[in-house]
Amino acid sequence: MSNGVSPTLNIAYLGPEASFSHQAAIEVFSPSTNILHPVPSFSAIFSAIQSSTHDFAVIPIENSTNGSVVQVLDLLSQCGLDSSAAYPDLEVVAEYYLPVHHCLFVSSTSTNPDIRTIYTHPQVWGQCNKYLSSNFPPNQVERIDVGSTSAAAQLVSRDGDASNAAIASKLAGQRHNLICLAENIEDEPGSNTTRFFVVRNRHQRTPGLEQYLSSRPNQKQKYKSLITFTIPHTKPGALADALAVFNQYHFNLTSIDTRPSRKRNWQYVFFVECEEADNRNTSSIDDEEENLKNLLTDLQKFTESLRHLGRFQDQLLREDGIHSKS
């Protein structure tokens, strides 16, 4: 954070260093005034926030090209004020949009690389499909998943094998002294973007993030809410009834996703992000929060389980200018 924060915040992100999550954490929480901690897995990040060993965490939730990060959705389905939740105290407090550019790297010791194996994070294959299909078709080059793009860069650097390559960020390539064979290999150069959530423990009201957000220009503050619910699938029209409540209270659905509940077969958790409509006249944030409270009260009538996972400022319009410059 450019305006300085006291006390120093401990920030978790998916490691190792130089991952896109690291890059997002750097942009939201300046490492000059905070401590950024690489964490090996998403589940470890959620556990760290639940136990309050870290103040905030920055986690990817979706990519504009390749869609949702399902591992994170599955963990979010275990959050919320519920006795059965694994992470009942975790809440989403912000979102952040990071333009993502991918590069193809080989080891600095590779003089004549003959690439037979490529390593990267599973999300990246879909983001670079056109380039890979044209230059490294899967019937000729093996694709191996690793935990993060920075881990792929680290692996290729340590291995030194001329037949191995990594897809990672420019930051990761520089960090591990790799040779860049191609830049901006994503399918949509200039528009490939990953959205991140910033999460914290709802009992830890550490100042800092709110100051960062409120210091940024915006014509009008708009807020999103993240809500998860399940419905009685045997009841005709159950989903339509639940979704109608959002319209009743003048909320736009900005995102809707589903994942298996893992409690019984063919039951799904619905993830809904909603935003108060512009045409609704509310005089204050308190009015908007009261309207949200009424929405949740009525929505409960049509759902089997219902959890509100956070309310946060909509950053999309604010970040749109950054996207157009990328």
Q: Are 303 and 242 in contact (CB under 8 A)?
A: yes
Mean pLDDT of 202-211: 71
pLDDT the model gives residue 211: 56
- pLDDT tens digits, one per residue of 149-183: 999 999 999 998 989 999 999 999 999 999 999 99
pLDDT at 321 over 60: no
Element (DSSP H or E) covering residue 254:
strand 251-260
Q: Count CB neighbours of 6 within 10 A.
A: 8
110 and 75 belong to one structural domain: no
* CATH number for 116: 3.40.190.10
pLDDT the model gives residue 68: 95
pLDDT at 282 over 60: no
288 and 154 belong to one structural domain: no
- pLDDT tens digits, one per residue of 13-56: 998 899 999 999 999 998 888 999 999 999 999 999 999 999 99
- pLDDT tens digits, one per residue of 44-65: 999 999 999 999 999 999 999 8
Q: Are 107 and 160 in contact (CB under 8 A)?
A: yes
Q: Is residue 3 part of a domain?
A: no
89 and 203 belong to one structural domain: yes
pLDDT at 240 over 70: yes
20 and 135 belong to one structural domain: no
Domain with 238, as residue range(s), is 223-316
Number of structural domains found in the chain: 3
Q: Is residue 187 part of a domain?
A: no
